[in-house]
Structure 1
Amino acid sequence: MECLNIGYFDGPMNCCRMQTDFHFIMEPLSREEADYPLAFIITIHKELEMFVRLLRAIYAPQNIYCIHVDVKAPENYKTSVRRLAGCFPNVFLASVSERVTYAGFSRLKADMNCMEDLLKSAVKWKKVINLCGQDFPIKSNLELIRYMQGAEWRDINMTPGVKQPEYMQHRTQMQHMEVIGDYVASKGQGHRKDPPPHNLQIYFGTAYYSLTRAFVEYVFKSSVAKDLLEWSKDTYSPDEHYWVTLNHVKGRYVRDICIYGTEDIPWIIEKNSMFANKFESTVAPEALDCLEQWHRHKVLQQAMVPIQSTWQLAMEVNISSAITVG
């Protein structure tokens, strides 16, 4: 069994060799893709191997990638991610990192930190997609842009959600307190919140999205967006209402995010989803191996440029032994 050099992340990187050995595709596979750059936000805190496999699956040189590494992550993990990002001109770490709390405002802020950085980038990306480190793509980059440029979704955000169900209303009607990096708790019945600003109807949905560049610019310029953000600071899981609520001020929402079991790989492939959540390299790794091989095969089949041998995933490569933090 061929093993990758475990020294990649221990010191200065040989970037050209890493890109080759890790099978990154280093040129646009079509003019259509080159003309429609995407932005990605990836929030991570663990499983370096899973992150590398996700990044190489979605990587294209015309796109841009903001990586938010949780402040709580081990220092050697942060160093490894920073060294990896340093090998690509279009991959960078967020300029401001948050100590992320599950269901806390800090989770929403992590995405917004990356969005602010992405707007400053020289890359004129068209839409931004957010992911976590345990996601994996179902569609190729070409399929993503064709899907998002289709008549149904052109210039439209994908922010799935519904009017906030009654059983969820406590999340935004009661004040909550975030114990940074630990948990979020209600302050109790005596701490009800004021109504949402601007008489907004609160919607509830997933924290995942695909947003237009114009919408992201609106988020940072609009007084409505700023006021809703301030109001959301002491709510529970604000990332599950902020994007979808704002989208109803400007547009409409669609789609649910695919959550799968490892035994459902054939079903996942048949679905018309963009990404699947979630994978862990230590749990049913063969499922991820299978999906990764299937995805890369599809990507290369769709390519409109000559295929380089290094772009093909080597079945015998033991990625786990190569991506060791420390």
Structure 2
Amino acid sequence: MTAYFITCHQSPAFVRDQFRFLYHRDHVYLYHVDAKAPEALHDTVRRLAQAFPNVEVLPTRHYAWASYSQVATTLDAIAWALKSAPAWSHFVALSEQHCPLHDPITVAAAFQPSVSYVGTTPFSAMDAGGQVDIAHRFSMDYRELPGVGSFGIAALARDPDFLSRLHHGSNWYVLSRAACAYLHDIMPGLPDMARFRRCVHADEDMLQTLLAHTDGRAGTITCRETTFVAWPHVIGNDSMIFREGDFFAAREEGWLFIRKRPAVLPERVTAALEAFAAMTETGLTDVAGACPEAVPTTLDADGIALARRVARAVVRRGRGVRADLLNLRYGRRDPLVSLTFQTDRIPDDVEVRVVSQNLMDFRVLLLSMAPPAIDFSTRHLHGRLAPLLRVRSDDFFCRREILVPEDPAHGFWTLPSDGSISGLVRRIERYIAVAETFGGRSDLLADPGVFSMAFREATARWRSAHWMLRRFLRRTTA
């Protein structure tokens, strides 16, 4: 028996197709659906669990790219499988974007007893560029903002001994039951647990490193990848979506799975997959209901209301502060709150940004507006440390965050039980004040006289009102 652990975040159609292609009554299927996924996806997976006794759904959590939540969810799945699933032999980690290259019986037959298949490379064997990448992942003390990603709060000294023990590899692996039991047992007393929790991309380094140093206590660990990934250098573009030729070439070369799948599978690929599907789409509909129709994305009312409340408070109290609610401008739900603040005194290459996905935990940051670039070198902007951000967001992926070390909370803020936003407003004002010093006019932060303050406040409110009126008129005439 094989235990499939499948993470989902977006497409009910992908999940249903994959389930039909992977399903066998002797296997178990364990799903985790990202908390921020569309409700239609949550409903799709619930229906599968209701219709099939060998399907289970993990409690949902906010799942963030490159963050420790990915490892935590995998460990939850391993714990559930060890405790509650029948006697399975292998644990297979997949996402909704995987397609099998063979039927479930053939795939299961490829797994040898007590053998795990984990593609890994020791740090010492990596090229110079790879070592710089891995070292950067442990160069900061990272904290996770639920549903958004991890932000570095302070630089850490390089630890050559720790790096020498690291192994890096794919997070799409096949683990034997012995390996899962070993990982489950050692986690509570793991000395390096805190270090892995506070890095980025632990999903590509943590379990891989632990399994490389088992001394046989986790069965046999074979260095082999089982998922073919359509990397840019393979397909000639950055989409990472496999093509028809990739599917059949990977199958001939002995791979077991392939990702990422296109929205519409090529005709020949569809025919190959349907040939070993456990059921047709119509058959699945008969027992689990129809695939939900695509619903246009709607803005989150609670998130917009909270963001507007914060924006009004900051603008009202500030001196010429302008707020821009990016969720409204671009119609986005990820993150639910995305606010920027600017003043005439803040340089054009910097903005104050506030983000949140769960409407409880927020991050205020100074974001560099320089064009994004993958560059792991240490940089300083405006005289402050500015590490590269590893957060998967269209707005600031591979940009740099200018750190504000004098903020004791390091930009993180949690909504109190009474719903007061005054603490967040004060933190935003603090970051605006810091950003204004970058313009070289630190005298503006000096304590003004009563009449001077009154004049500045009146001028600021007029500027803010005028700026908001211009935006309103542009929208209404667009």
TM-score bucket (shorter structure) = 0.7 to 0.9
**Equivalent residue number for residue 31 of structure 1:** none
1:184-242 Cα shifts (integer Å, max 9, x gaps) = 23334x33476778x98110111111001111111111258743433310111101011
SS at match of 2:30: strand
The 1:193/1:39 distance shift into structure 2, 3 A limit, reads: farther
Rg larger in 1 or in 2?
2
- Answer yes or no: is the 8 Å Cα contact 2:18–2:99 preserved in 1: yes
Equivalent residue for 2:137, pick from 164, 167, 171: 171
One-letter code aligned to 2:141 = Q
Mapping 1:121-140, distance limit 5 Å: 121-140=84-103
Larger RCO (alpha carbons 8 Å, 6+ apart): 1
Task: List gaps (5 residues or longer) in structure 1.
Answer: 1-36, 301-309
Following superposition, the deviation at residue 183 of structure 1 comes to: 2.5
Equivalent residue for 2:265, pick from 259, 275, 286: 286
**Equivalent residue number for residue 229 of structure 1:** 193
**Equivalent residue number for residue 98 of structure 1:** 61
Confirm whether residue 184 of structure 1 aligns to residue 146 of structure 2.
Answer: no
In 2, the alpha carbon distance for the partners of 1:90 and 1:273 equals 26
Confirm whether residue 87 of structure 1 aligns to residue 44 of structure 2.
Answer: no
The 1:273/1:106 distance shift into structure 2, 3 A limit, reads: same
Following superposition, the deviation at residue 99 of structure 1 comes to: 0.3
In 2, the alpha carbon distance for the partners of 1:123 and 1:196 equals 40
Equivalent residue for 1:266, pick from 231, 244, 248: 248
The 1:223/1:112 distance shift into structure 2, 3 A limit, reads: closer
- Answer yes or no: is the 8 Å Cα contact 1:219–1:226 preserved in 2: no
One-letter code aligned to 2:255 = S
Mapping 1:190-229, distance limit 5 Å: 190-192=155-157, 201-222=165-186, 226-229=190-193
SS at match of 1:187: strand
In 2, the alpha carbon distance for the partners of 1:84 and 1:258 equals 27
**Equivalent residue number for residue 381 of structure 2:** none
- Answer yes or no: is the 8 Å Cα contact 2:63–2:147 preserved in 1: yes
In 1, the alpha carbon distance for the partners of 2:22 and 2:65 equals 25
One-letter code aligned to 1:286 = L
Task: List gaps (5 residues or longer) in structure 2.
Answer: 215-219, 231-241, 296-478
One-letter code aligned to 1:155 = S
The 1:195/1:66 distance shift into structure 2, 3 A limit, reads: farther
In 2, the alpha carbon distance for the partners of 1:98 and 1:54 equals 22
**Equivalent residue number for residue 117 of structure 2:** 158
Following superposition, the deviation at residue 159 of structure 1 comes to: 1.1
The 1:97/1:196 distance shift into structure 2, 3 A limit, reads: farther
**Equivalent residue number for residue 354 of structure 2:** none
The 1:90/1:162 distance shift into structure 2, 3 A limit, reads: same
Q: What's the TM-score, normalizing by structure 1?
A: 0.73
The 1:170/1:322 distance shift into structure 2, 3 A limit, reads: same
**Equivalent residue number for residue 34 of structure 1:** none
Q: What's the TM-score, normalizing by structure 2?
A: 0.51
SS at match of 1:62: coil
Confirm whether residue 252 of structure 1 aligns to residue 226 of structure 2.
Answer: no
What is the aligned-residue RMSD (CA, Å)?
2.7
Confirm whether residue 295 of structure 1 aligns to residue 285 of structure 2.
Answer: no
In 2, the alpha carbon distance for the partners of 1:114 and 1:208 equals 14
- Answer yes or no: is the 8 Å Cα contact 1:175–1:234 preserved in 2: yes
In 1, the alpha carbon distance for the partners of 2:45 and 2:244 equals 30
One-letter code aligned to 1:127 = H
One-letter code aligned to 2:172 = Y
In 1, the alpha carbon distance for the partners of 2:94 and 2:29 equals 11
1:35-83 Cα shifts (integer Å, max 9, x gaps) = xx10000000111000011011111111111100111113343123212
Equivalent residue pairs, number:
264
The 1:230/1:191 distance shift into structure 2, 3 A limit, reads: closer
In 2, the alpha carbon distance for the partners of 1:313 and 1:89 equals 19
- Answer yes or no: is the 8 Å Cα contact 1:204–1:245 preserved in 2: yes
Identity over aligned residues, as a percent? 22
The 1:85/1:212 distance shift into structure 2, 3 A limit, reads: same
Mapping 1:141-156, distance limit 5 Å: 141-149=104-112, 154-156=113-115
In 1, the alpha carbon distance for the partners of 2:189 and 2:90 equals 19
- Answer yes or no: is the 8 Å Cα contact 1:228–1:242 preserved in 2: no
- Answer yes or no: is the 8 Å Cα contact 1:174–1:191 preserved in 2: yes
In 1, the alpha carbon distance for the partners of 2:158 and 2:73 equals 24
Following superposition, the deviation at residue 143 of structure 1 comes to: 1.6
1:260-317 Cα shifts (integer Å, max 9, x gaps) = 3314233233221010011132xxx132x532421342x48xxxxxxxxx84678xx9
SS at match of 1:286: coil
Mapping 1:106-121, distance limit 5 Å: 106-121=69-84
One-letter code aligned to 1:58 = L
One-letter code aligned to 1:258 = F
SS at match of 1:86: helix
